[in-house]
Amino acid sequence: MLASKLYSPTLREIPAEAEIASHQYMLKAGMIRKNGGGLYSFLPLGRRVVLKVENIVREEMNATGAQEIMMPIMQPAEIWHESGRWDAYGPEMFKLEDRHDNHYCLGPTHEELITTLVRNELRSYKQMPVTLWQMQNKYRDEIRPRFGLMRSREFVMKDAYSFDIDEEGLHQSYQTMYDAYDRVFTRCGLTYKPVEADSGQIGGSHTHEFMALAAAGEAEVVSCSACEYAADIEKAEPQTLEMPAEPAQPVELIATPNCATIEDLAKFMNIPVEKTIKAVAFDIDGKVVLCMVRGDHEVNDVAVQNLVGGNQVNPATEEQLKAHGLQPGYMSPMDADAPDNKSFYVIVDPTAMNVPNGVTGANKHGYHYTNVNPKRDFKQVTIATIRLMKDGDVCPHCGAPIEIMRGIEVGQVFELGTKYSESLNGTFLDKDGKAKPYYMGCYGIGVTRTVAAAIEQFHDDHGIMWPVAIAPYEAVVVPVSSKDEDQIRIATAIYDSLGGVRGDVVLDDRKERAGVKFNDADLIGYPVRVTVGKKSAADHTVEIKVRRTGAEEVVDIDAAAARVKEILNELLSNNM
């Protein structure tokens, strides 16, 4: 590809809305352009990267024996009503009607459609196991699209679905996909970690997320410093913490003016935050759920939702709180209505139950109770682990210290079991002629998110440092002066030796200053740059520079193409 012909409109200034490196550099390098909130067009360079990720995914899926299909993006509402997810999926689902008042959604995922697709034709145990997959755009109405490709409304996803006759077969299919994902993300050059996770709206009993580790990641990952345990922070189960015993003192009501936060309260009382008991209240499908954790801990709303059930989790309103005797900013089970597990639910984390002579809300504006001992003073509450892990916690498996790092979810694998086959009547006949539901798994890879994750992991102040396997082009040949015929001749010869217009290489033939060409090469992130300078003709040499490492070497012109290929192969073999 000639740079003079390449449609890659670079930007001098980064749009203010671009907060993270992947969004900034893909805009600046002319790889994507925004068309609306969470909607992007891929220009040639960006599209080439997406296609390379897709090709890696396709090769690894095909290597497992999975078969590629293509299902429609628009799905009839009826099948979602059958599964019970039409209302449960929530406001992220794009819903629409046709001219005949038929209801549809733009597919955020395809469990319903794949099950109804095969249920009339996958009828015998002899036809299984089988795994079907597709590469397709997905749609989710994000409440706040942000970070470019990381959280957009339209994105490219690979989704696969396995069908087995029993649980043992499902385990095998799950492991096959898990191993394939390892190969995909390794080949893409990512630094990643598979972690235990919550199954969320997809459902199922067993799931792992593949997290690309990066400071810009929206998810927190708990990783053991000694064993292989790793989990999404919402899935990780912290141990109950003990506190030094104290003689129980009588409860006392005290005035605490202007102390609506835990920090204000601890400062006013001159006590450690650990001696306070924090309250957080949710509205879960109309039920008010009051959650109590130790003051230095945060509530895990996913754990709360799994305990209570329901589909939508929102902060409880002031009206809802007061209807149950709760005073915003000063809440606790003390002097509140008794929980009834129908409209009002109180859950206390076991670590909070161990706080001796603590301080908590009195459900009266400007007042708290002190000397509260939850085991004595909290009545009719449910005790369950609802706090998030934090620095200082230990591994639930081996007791070693844990690390908390940030990650970008680029893939997830699920054991669905019979969740969808039962609700959608997807059955087969076993060897005895009895109808049984399929055992299903589903497996997703965020293709466009993988592109963003690679940039988040591999960039510097000058631009992107692509892994070779997914770089838009593997190399660029730069003649320093477009007016020097010798430089153009040498650069063109090396370009042709590397494959020319049919190869994975760019010849920067633009009539630009050398500095502009070098800056664009770094911004776009070509893994290898060949520079043809003013001494090249006389010395019969060119300079080769590796973008990722910064390593430079001077080689004979005749050996340049072979050396570039050798360097690229070395980088590929090291997944760089």
The DSSP 8-state label assigned to residue 500 in this structure reads: G
**How would you label 191-209 residue by residue, b for 16+ Cβ within 10 Å and e otherwise?**
bbbbbbbbbeebbbebbbb
CATH superfamily, region 252-383: YbaK/aminoacyl-tRNA synthetase-associated domain (3.90.960.10)
The DSSP 8-state label assigned to residue 148 in this structure reads: G
The upper half-sphere exposure of residue 115, i.e. CA atoms within 13 Å in the direction of its Cβ, equals 27
Question: What is the average pLDDT value for the chain, to the nearest integer?
Answer: 95
CATH architecture of structural domain 21-191+417-456 = 2-Layer Sandwich (3.30)
Helices (H), 339-428: 350-353, 374-377, 419-423
Strands 505-507 and 463-464: unpaired
Domain with CATH 3.40.50.800 in the chain: 473-573
What are 211-229's pLDDT values in tens digits?
Answer: 999 999 989 999 999 998 9
Q: What is the reported pLDDT for 201?
A: 67
**How would you label 156-174 residue by residue, b for 16+ Cβ within 10 Å and e otherwise?**
bbbbbbbbbbeeebbeebb
Q: Is residue 521 within 8 Å of 544, Cβ to Cβ?
A: no
CATH architecture of structural domain 473-573 = 3-Layer(aba) Sandwich (3.40)
Q: What is the reported pLDDT for 143?
A: 87
**Measured on CA atoms in the order 532, 535, 541, 546, is the torsion positive or negative?**
negative
| pLDDT tens digits in sequence order for the chain, 576 residues long | 999 999 999 998 888 889 999 999 999 999 999 999 999 999 999 999 999 999 999 999 999 999 999 999 999 999 999 999 998 888 899 999 999 999 999 999 999 999 999 998 999 999 999 999 999 999 999 988 989 999 999 999 999 999 999 999 999 999 999 999 999 999 999 999 999 998 776 766 789 999 999 999 989 999 999 998 999 999 998 999 999 999 999 999 999 998 888 999 999 999 999 999 999 999 999 999 999 999 999 999 999 999 998 888 999 999 999 999 999 999 999 999 999 988 999 999 999 999 999 999 999 999 999 999 999 999 999 999 999 999 889 999 999 999 999 999 999 999 999 999 999 999 999 999 999 999 999 999 999 999 999 999 999 999 999 999 999 999 999 999 989 999 999 999 999 999 988 889 999 999 999 999 999 999 999 999 999 999 999 999 999 999 999 999 999 999 999 999 999 999 999 999
Among 441, 440, 442, 452, CA closest to 409: 452
Dist CA 353 CA 377 (whole Å)? 10
N-term to C-term CA, the chain: 23
Name, in order, each residue with C-beta under 8 angstroms of 84's C-beta and a sequence gap of 6 or more. 423
Helices 44-63/167-187 angle, 10° precision? 140
Among 197, 220, 152, 35, CA closest to 451: 152
Q: What is the reported pLDDT for 500?
A: 86
Domain with CATH 3.30.930.10 in the chain: 21-191+417-456
Tokens of 300: 């895990």
Q: What is the reported pLDDT for 222?
A: 95
Residue with tokens 């900013």: 329
Among 192, 190, 151, 188, CA closest to 49: 188
Domain with CATH 3.90.960.10 in the chain: 252-383
